[in-house]
Amino acid sequence: MRLKLRKAQAEAGDIVLLFSDESEALTHPYLARAWARRGADLRVPAPGQSRKVAMMGTLEWGNRKLVVTTSRTKRSTDFIAHLHCLDQLYGPKPDEPVKPSVIVLDNGPIHTSKASRAALAERAHWMTVEWLPKYAPELNDIERVWLDIKANHLAHQTFTDLDDLDRTIHNAVTKLNIERNRDPLGNSRISA
């Protein structure tokens, strides 16, 4: 399978492997884990209408760094704005060697629209697209990250408004990046 080859290339430092996808977060609470009698309807009363924030995310496979941009919509223009963010992090910079990047995408309409394909083609000199087969979310490593964010950072709480939810999402991403990139030997003491 090509993803195994890509992961081996990323592990060797030959490429930057990026898993990208989008998800949504809601202002009404997620129920991650809860106890109830068998057959009981698990609902948490929440005021008002549930609203959503779209999350465009990319997981750098090598160092487990997560990059998330948020918007009120989930359109091709939002995906292209996320690509601009990736340009800043992984794209060519003057007087620096460019490490080729491979971005793994599903065949969702947000990625396959004319505008998105044109934006990806503009980056073809440094970014290659690896398309996943249809209906294979288990192959996209960022799916586990979305589950982690929803179950451990957004669950069992009601957000007052979209800005509060947006702040919580970005705080969760910052926390996850710190946890994943912590040097386990950095705080160790050497006995004399």
Q: Which domains does the chain have, with CATH numbers?
A: 2-26+52-180 (3.30.420.10)
Q: pLDDT per residue over 30-86, tens digit each? A: 766 667 788 887 766 666 778 899 999 999 999 899 999 999 999 999 999 999 999
Share of the chain above pLDDT 90, in %: 66
Residue whose structure tokens are 């503009």:
122
- Report pTM: 0.85
Q: For residue 155, what pLDDT is reported?
A: 87
pLDDT of residue 90 exceeding 50: yes
The residue written with tokens 């091709």 in the block is 76
Long-range contacts of 175-180 (CB under 8 A, 24+ apart): 176/66, 176/145, 176/148, 176/149, 177/65, 177/66, 180/63, 180/64, 180/65, 180/66
pLDDT digits (tens, 9 = 90+) for 176-191: 999 877 655 554 444 4
What pLDDT does 35 receive?
72
| Residue 192 banded pLDDT, cuts 50, 70, 90 | very low
What pLDDT is recorded for position 188?
47
Q: Which two tokens stand for residue 55?
A: 């999350």
Give the gyration radius of the chain's Cα atoms: 19
Asked whether the beta carbons of 56 and 70 are under 8 A apart, the reply is: yes
Q: Are the C-beta atoms of residues 61 and 141 closer than 8 Å to each other?
A: yes
Q: What is the pLDDT of residues 109-152, one digit of tens each?
A: 999 999 999 999 999 999 999 999 888 889 999 999 999 999 89
Q: What is the pLDDT of residue 44?
A: 67
